[in-house]
Amino acid sequence: MRITAARVIVTCPGRNFVTLKIETDQGLTGIGDATLNGREKAVVAYLEDHVIPCLIGQAADQIEHIWQYLYRGAYWRRGPVTMRAIAAVDVALWDIKAKAAGMPLYQLLGGRSRDRVMVYGHANGADIAETVDAVGRYIDMGYKAIRAQSGIPGIKDAYGVGRGTLHYEPADAALPSETTWDTAKALAHVPQLFEALRATYGFDHHLLHDAHHRYTPQEAASLARRLEDFRLFWLEDLTPAENQAAFRLIRQHSTTPLAVGEIFNTIWDAKQLIEEQLIDYIRTTVVGAGGITHLRRIADLASLYQIRTGCHGATDLSPVTMGAALHFDTWVPNFGIQEYMRHTPETDAVFPHDYHFEDGFLHVGDTPGHGVTIDETLAARYPYQPAFLPVAMLEDGTMWNW
């Protein structure tokens, strides 16, 4: 079975998505997600100019060989643009292989390790009272695990706080909007949020929180320690992880479980964190790190150290990534949790899929392939809209980590 054609489809049903479609001489097709939030066109050019011409005529069933061809063969390794392009090819080829086998993708990976996939939803509010209400709504919808973020007095547009809908969407401006950050204010506020949540709902639900890279290692250690009594499922991205050894300091001071990795591209970004057991959950997902082929290498390394997976699942990862991730989650022995920040009905219509939510869990489908398709006619009705992620600044105008 040879690859005869491949093309990129860009659509914006409320937000931008980049999808690669690969066709074969057997009539089978597959799709993969290549969306890089706020930098979508860079991956489009990488695929169209530098990847697709090399794919034509290759054997579609040689997924590993094509992965190595695109990774080693390019000479220039790693990075979000390269690895998302490789992920799109990889996922499209796994889709084709599973369709050729007449099996859902999880069967090719080794079959089920579980019946259903526990997910966490995103609850947020302008202040603590609103976030407490929002968590209650997620509990009513059946969620077992909920991420809680709240506005912080004195901080403009704190990370993770929506504007009145369930579909929080940070990339919402044609140029980056400016938000602010103040660590002292956040450190005073976040423990109060979790105190209120535990006082209201008790300890029957898993609670999570995303610090979005804002703290220094010392501040991060302080926050992790002060949240211990509220028994979080995890505390995410406490400090930037380019310096993986920075997590040693946090570990020395707290037993709060730590999650990192949604912006990692390869196993090398996580190697020290995993080998020194500096984290508990690895957040890297299918589109972020070169597809199923590379993600399972990361998960296998993590499993040696009892670190579990917690795939990134924000709305900028298309339903194609969600579908592929659910096959991975259904198989991976060291599964922890899956993020599920629900897509809008417009997005779900462009990407028909066979997974469904029920009582706090996502259920993978049994359609051959990864179970997600694209309605190209509908997709064409939503042209690309420039949209950037915000930037974050300190009160004096100093750039901070968004």
**Catalytic residue selected from 159, 340, 355, 382:** 159
Strands, sheet with 391-393, edge to edge from the N-terminal-most edge strand = 178-180, 391-393, 399-400
- Cα dihedral across residues 45, 46, 48, 49: positive or negative: positive
Q: Which does 316 bind (CB under 5 to 8 A by kind): ligand KDG, Mg ion, none?
A: ligand KDG
- Which residue in 103, 126, 141, 314 binds ligand KDG (CB under 6 A)? 314
Smallest gap from Cβ 135 to ligand KDG, in A, equals: 16
- For 27, residues 6+ apart whose C-beta sits below 8 A from its C-beta are none
Separation CA 171–CA 169 (nearest Å): 6
For residue 258, give the H/E element and its range.
strand 258-260
x/- binding map, residues 378-397, to ligand KDG, per CB under 6 A?
A: -----------x--------
- Range list of β-strands (E), 261-398: 281-282, 308-311, 335-339, 356-358, 361-363, 391-393
3-class state of residue 39 by DSSP:
coil
Which residue is closest to Mg ion by CB? 210
Q: By CB under 5 A, what part of segment 179-238 binds Mg ion?
A: 210
Q: Does residue 37 bind ligand KDG (CB under 6 A)?
A: yes
Kindly state the smallest distance separating residue 210's Cβ from Mg ion, in Å: 4
* CB of residue 103 to Mg ion, shortest distance in Å: 32
Which residues between 78 and 117 bind Mg ion (CB under 5 A)? Answer: none
12-22 burial string, b = 16+ CB within 10 Å, else e?
bbbbbbbbbbb
Q: How far apart are CA 156 and CA 199, in angstroms?
A: 27
Between 66 and 223, whose beta carbon lies closer to ligand KDG? 223
Which CB atom, from 70 or from 286, has the smaller least distance to Mg ion?
286
Task: Locate the DSSP E strands across 25-130.
Answer: 29-33, 117-125
Applying CB under 6 A, does 212 fall inside the site for ligand KDG?
yes
- Residue 316 interacts with Mg ion (CB under 5 A)? no
Nearer to Mg ion by Cβ, of 151 and 371: the residue is: 151
212 annotated active-site: yes
CB closer to ligand KDG, 104 vs 319: 319
Please give the DSSP secondary-structure letter assigned to residue 15.
Answer: S
Is 120 a residue of the active site? no
CA distances from 377 to 11, 316, 380 (A): 10, 21, 5
Residue 37's binding partner, choosing from ligand KDG, Mg ion, none, with beta-carbon cut-off 5 to 8 A by kind? ligand KDG
State in angstroms the smallest separation of the CB of 342 from ligand KDG: 12
170 binds ligand KDG (CB under 6 A): yes
Q: What are phi and psi of 312, to 5 degrees?
A: -55, 135
262 part of the interface to ligand KDG, by CB under 6 A: yes
Segment lying near Mg ion (by CB under 5 A), choices 5-13, 72-80, 257-265, 355-363: 257-265
CB of 90 or CB of 339, closer to ligand KDG: 339
Measured from the CB atom, the residue of 312 and 353 that comes closer to ligand KDG is: 312
Q: In the complex, what is the shortest distance from the CB of residue 369 to ligand KDG, in angstroms, rounded to a whole number? A: 25
The bridge status of strand 356-358 relative to strand 361-363 is antiparallel
Residue with Cβ nearer ligand KDG (281 or 355): 281
Integer Cα distance of 245 and 277 in angstroms: 11
Residues within window 326-345 making contact with ligand KDG, judged by CB under 6 A: 339
Q: Edge-to-edge strands of the sheet including 17-24?
A: 3-11, 17-24, 29-33
What six digits make up the tokens of 307?
Answer: 């670190």
Contacts with Mg ion by CB under 5 A lie at 210, 262
Would you name the residues annotated as active-site residues?
159, 212
Residues of this chain that bind ligand KDG (CB under 6 A):
37, 170, 210, 212, 262, 312, 314, 316, 339, 389
